[in-house]
Structure 1
Amino acid sequence: MAESILADAGILGQSCRDLSDLLLELACGAGAAVITEEVFKGGDIRSLSAWLEAQPSWSDFPIILLTRQGGGPERSRQALDLMDLLRNVTFLERPFHPTTLIAVVQTALRSRRRQYDARTRLEALSAATAAAAAAQAAAEQANRSKSHVLAAASHDLRQPLQSLFLLTGKLAAGSLGPPERETVDNLGRALAAMKVLLDAMLDVSKLDAGIVAVSRRDIRVSDLLNDIAASYRDRALQQKLDLRVVSCSAVVHSDAALLARILRNYVENALRYTRRGRVLVGCRRRGGHLLIQVTDTGIGIPAEKQREIFEEYVQVDNSARDREQGLGLGLAIVRRISELLAHPVSVRSELGRGSTFAVAVPLAAAPAMAAPPLPEPDAPQPWRLVLVIDDDALVLMGLVAMLERWGARTLSASSGLEAVEKLRGSTTLPDLIIADYRLRRGETGFAAIDGVRRAAGHPIPALLLTGDTAPDILRDARSRDLRLLHKPVSPADLRRALANRWE
Structure 2
Amino acid sequence: MKKHSDPRPGGYDVDDLLGLGSQSVRKNYYPELQERVEELEAERNRYKWLFENALHGIFQGDLKGGFLALNPAMASLCGYVSPEDLRKRVRRLREQLFYTIGEFDGLRQEMLDFGRVIARETRLRRADGEPVDVAITLLRRPDLGAEVVEAFVLDITDRVDARKRLEQLNTELEQRVDERTQALKAANEGLRHQIAEREKVEQELVIAVEAAKEANRSKDKYLAAASHDLLQPLNAARLLVSTLQDSRLPDKDAHMVERVHRALESTEDLLADLLDISKLDQQAMKPDLVYVDVGELVTALGEEFEPVARDAGIGFRVRSRAATVHTDPRMLSRILRNLLSNAFRYTDAGRVLLAMRPRRSSLTIEIWDTGIGIAEDKLQDIFAEFHQLSPHNASGKRGVGLGLAIVERMARVLASPVDVRSVPGKGSRFTLTLPLVDWDVGLSSRAVEPAVAAVTDSLQDALVVVIDNEPDILASMRALLERWGCRVVCGTGADSVLRSGVGFDRVPDAILADFHLDDGRTGCEAIYALRRHFHADIPAAIVTADRSDQSRRLFQTQYLPVLNKPVKPNRLRALLTSLLSSPVAAE
Given the two structures, how large is their TM-score scaled by the length of structure 1?
0.55
Check whether the contact 2:513–2:527 (CA below 8 A) recurs between aligned residues.
Answer: no
User: Between Structure 1 and Structure 2, how many residues are aligned?
Assistant: 394
Structure 1 residue 213 and structure 2 residue 280: aligned?
Answer: no
Q: In structure 1, how many angstroms separate the alpha carbons of the residues matched to 2:356 and 2:504? A: 62
2:339 to 266, 282, 290: 266
* Corresponding position: 1:489 with 2:567: yes
1:420 to 1:121, Cα distance in 2 relative to 1, 3 A: farther
Provide closer, same or farther for how the CA distance between residues 475 and 260 of structure 1 changes in structure 2, counting only shifts above 3 A: closer
1:436 aligned residue (511, 514, 518): 514
Once residues 406 and 154 of structure 1 are traced to their aligned partners in structure 2, the CA distance between those partners, rounded to angstroms, is 29
Shift of 1:225: 8.4
Question: Counting strand residues as a fraction of each chain, which structure ranks higher?
Answer: 2
Query: Counterparts in 2 of 1:378-417, with a 5 A limit?
Result: 386-400=464-478, 411-415=489-493
Structure-to-structure mapping, 1:268-307, within 5 angstroms? 268-274=341-347, 298=372, 300=374, 303=377, 307=380
Quickly say closer, same or farther: Cα 1:421–1:268, change in 2 above 3 A.
closer
Question: Counterpart amino acid of 2:288?
Answer: A
Q: Does structure 1 residue 330 correspond to structure 2 residue 397?
A: no
**What's the counterpart of residue 522 of structure 2?**
445
Change (3 A) 1:332 1:163: same
Higher Cα radius of gyration: 2
Aligned to 2:543: 465
Residue 398 (structure 1) shift: 3.8
Instruction: Indicate conservation of the 8 Å contact 1:205/1:470, yes or no.
Output: no
Q: Residue 576 of structure 2 corresponds to which residue in structure 1?
A: 498
Which structure is richer in relative contact order (CA contacts within 8 A, separation 6 or more)? Answer: 1
User: Given the alignment of the two structures, is residue 340 of structure 1 paired with residue 417 of structure 2, yes or no?
Assistant: no
Amino acid at match of 1:483: P
Note closer, same or farther for the CA distance 1:100–1:131 as it changes in structure 2 (3 Å cut). Answer: same
Corresponding position of 2:261: 191
Counterpart secondary structure, 2:289: coil
CA distance in structure 2 between the aligned counterparts of 1:231 and 1:381, rounded to whole angstroms: 19
Find the counterpart in structure 1 of residue 111 from structure 2: none
8 Å contact kept, 2:241–2:260 = no
Kept in 1, the 8 Å contact 2:510–2:576? The answer is no
CA distance in 2, matches of 1:149, 1:493: 28
**Per the alignment, in what secondary structure is the counterpart of residue 389 of structure 2?**
coil
Structure 2 matches for 1:3-402, cutoff 5 A?
108-120=181-193, 122-123=195-196, 126=199, 140=213, 144=217, 147-168=220-241, 170=243, 176=248, 180=250, 183-184=253-254, 187=257, 190-191=260-261, 194-195=264-265, 198-199=268-269, 201-202=271-272, 205=275, 208=280, 209-210=284-285, 212-216=287-291, 255=327, 257=329, 258-259=331-332, 261-274=334-347, 298=372, 300=374, 303=377, 307-317=380-390, 324-346=397-419, 357-362=430-435, 364=436, 386-400=464-478
1: CA distance between counterparts of 2:528 and 2:322?
A: 53
Q: Tell me the secondary structure at the aligned position of residue 327 of structure 1.
A: coil
Cα distance, 1:483–1:232 mapped onto 2, change above 3 Å: closer
| Cα 1:342/1:120, change in 2 over 3 Å | farther
Equivalent residue of 1:434, what SS? strand
SS in 2 for 1:464: strand
Deviation at 1:291, TM superposition (A): 7.1
C-alpha change, 1:283 and 1:113, in structure 2 (3 Å) is farther
Residues 137-170 of structure 1: CA deviation (Å, up to 9, x unaligned): 5665565555445444543443334334444555
Equivalent pair of 2:326/2:437 in contact (CA under 8 Å) = no
Asked if the contact 2:511–2:527 (Cα under 8 Å) also holds between the matched residues in 1, the reply is no
- Shift of residue 449 of structure 1? 1.6
The 3 A distance-change label for structure 1 pair 291 and 115 is: farther
Unaligned runs of 5+ in 2: 1-169, 444-451, 583-587
Alignment check: 8 A CA contact 2:422 2:429 kept: yes
Q: Is the 8 A contact 2:347 2:393 kept in 1?
A: no
CA distance in 2, matches of 1:149, 1:287: 46
Give percent identity, aligned residues only. Answer: 29
Q: CA deviation at 1:439?
A: 4.4
Displacement after TM superposition at 1:334 (Å): 0.3
